[in-house]
């Protein structure tokens, strides 16, 4: 079997590893990556959160999917995960979901959730702004280590083409063409893991919208690793990444700009590097509405990544989907921790 995987991000590398583990020498995998390194965008520049669904109280579908994905992801990559003792969800008085309902939703799903004394969070600006606080058991994925682990495996076991941006897929013929008009052919299957361009090679297209997202990475502000997510609306999140860094994100300012067309996103992204400092200031300003001076923000830098989303993503859903046409299978998944579920779906379609 000869397979092409377009996109050497987390999903592309993960699926390549899983296919190699399963089929061994029976499969030959060619990975085409537009950047000069593997796993450079969404698989690196994200929140590092191992989701359990607490962030999506208005979508039972997303909660169920996230719980199932987390179980499989944690089993497979346990050595790359740690669990902060304090991973707090704060329910703001202006939250779309009230504290008692938030608690009830996640107890129904048998998730660990325990009320926490808000006054113990001495870095909050005004405790009276919040109705409730809950401690949860969401984890942190050590992506630096996990990405290095995956990269080493696929570079040894697969044919990896870097700086190769694919322009189009011929799903009937099983061939690709890059932007230098070089053709790669005779593939039994083509798996599109580009994330932002999942419509390549499909007859029935995804209806998509696009977004350039950014968050602030900075030195850990406390001795203890603490996660704080303020719910549910235009609020903010503080989340640990590893032993050295945390991230700050803002529902209002993390989405830098939204687009209807992918090419417009790419054009904007090239120019945006000159405006990073201003975006950092906006996110930090938003954070300071809720946190006092005990939250020290040292050496802030903006990390950005493009996103593709279903155009009508109602009820705060983040579905993970696979569509196929002839020899092409195309993945659209916004959460990395549901990768094991995506692989299982993919395997059924390959069979």
- Per-residue pLDDT at 351: 78
Identify whether 78 is preceded by a cis peptide bond (ω within 30 of 0): no
Q: 332, 198 in Cβ contact below 8 A?
A: yes
The encoded tokens of residue 193 equal 């893991």
| Rounded alpha-carbon distances, angstroms, from residue 68 to 40, 52, 65, 340, 350 | 26, 9, 5, 9, 22
Whose CA is closest to 37, among 156, 160, 138? 160
Positive or negative, the Cα torsion across 9, 10, 15, 18?
A: positive
The encoded tokens of residue 269 equal 């992204």
Which residues, 6 or more positions from 38, have their beta carbon under 8 angstroms from its beta carbon? Answer: 8, 9, 12, 13, 31, 147, 150, 151, 154, 155, 160, 162
- Per-residue pLDDT at 311: 77
- Angstrom distance (rounded) from CA 184 to CA 330: 18
Please give the domain boundaries of the chain with CATH numbers for all domains. 1-73+141-205+316-351 (3.50.50.60), 84-137+208-311 (3.30.9.10)
Please state the φ and ψ torsions of residue 162, each to the nearest 5 degrees.
-95, 160
- Per-residue pLDDT at 98: 97
- Report the SS3 class of residue 86: strand
- Report the SS3 class of residue 232: coil
| Rounded alpha-carbon distances, angstroms, from residue 249 to 86, 133, 213, 238, 283 | 18, 19, 10, 7, 7
- Angstrom distance (rounded) from CA 165 to CA 159: 15
- Per-residue pLDDT at 316: 52
- Per-residue pLDDT at 266: 92
- Per-residue pLDDT at 343: 97
Q: Which residues, listed in sequence order, are joined to residue 250 by a DSSP beta bridge?
A: 236
Whose CA is closest to 133, among 113, 114, 112, 116? 116
Q: List, run by run, the mean pLDDT of 10-residue segments along the chain (351 residues).
A: 98 98 98 97 91 93 92 97 97 97 97 97 97 97 97 98 98 98 98 96 94 96 95 97 96 96 93 87 98 95 93 63 97 91 95 78
- Angstrom distance (rounded) from CA 68 to CA 338: 8
- Per-residue pLDDT at 194: 95
HSE toward the beta carbon, residue 298, CA cutoff 13 A: 8
| Rounded alpha-carbon distances, angstroms, from residue 332 to 87, 89, 166, 273, 324 | 28, 28, 17, 27, 11
Q: 70, 50 in Cβ contact below 8 A?
A: yes
């Amino acid at each position: 079997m000869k397979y092409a995987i377009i996109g050497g991000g987390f999903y592309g590398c993960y699926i390549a590893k899983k296919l190699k583990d399963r089929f061994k020498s029976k499969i030959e995998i060619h990975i085409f990556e537009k950047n000069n390194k593997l796993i450079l965008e969404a698989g690196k520049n994200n929140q590092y959160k191992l989701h359990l669904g607490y962030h999506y109280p208005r979508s039972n579908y997303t909660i169920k999917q996230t719980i199932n994905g987390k179980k499989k992801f944690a089993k497979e990559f346990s050595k790359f995960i740690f669990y902060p003792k304090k991973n707090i969800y704060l329910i703001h008085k202006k939250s779309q979901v009230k504290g008692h309902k938030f608690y009830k939703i996640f107890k129904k799903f048998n998730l660990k959730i325990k009320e926490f004394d808000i006054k113990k969070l001495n870095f909050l600006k005004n405790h009276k702004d919040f109705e409730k606080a809950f401690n949860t058991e969401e984890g942190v994925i050590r992506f630096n280590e996990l990405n290095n682990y995956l990269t080493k495996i696929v570079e040894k076991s697969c044919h990896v083409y870097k700086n190769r941006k694919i322009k189009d897929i011929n799903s009937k013929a099983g061939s690709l063409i890059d932007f230098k008009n070089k053709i790669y052919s005779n593939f039994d299957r083509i798996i599109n893991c580009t994330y932002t361009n999942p419509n390549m090679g499909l007859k029935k297209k995804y209806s998509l919208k696009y977004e350039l997202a950014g968050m602030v990475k900075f030195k850990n502000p406390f001795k203890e690793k603490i996660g704080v997510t303020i719910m549910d609306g235009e609020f903010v999140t503080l989340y640990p990444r590893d032993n050295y860094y945390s991230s700050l994100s803002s529902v209002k300012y993390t989405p830098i700009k939204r687009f209807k067309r992918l090419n417009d996103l790419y054009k904007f992204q090239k120019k945006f590097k000159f405006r990073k400092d201003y975006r950092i200031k906006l996110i930090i300003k938003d954070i300071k509405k809720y946190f006092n001076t005990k939250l020290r923000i040292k050496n802030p830098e903006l990390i950005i990544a493009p996103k593709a989303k279903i155009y009508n993503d109602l009820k705060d859903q983040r579905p993970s989907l696979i569509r196929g046409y002839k020899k092409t299978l195309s993945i659209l998944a916004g959460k990395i921790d549901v990768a094991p579920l995506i692989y299982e779906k993919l395997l059924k379609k390959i069979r």
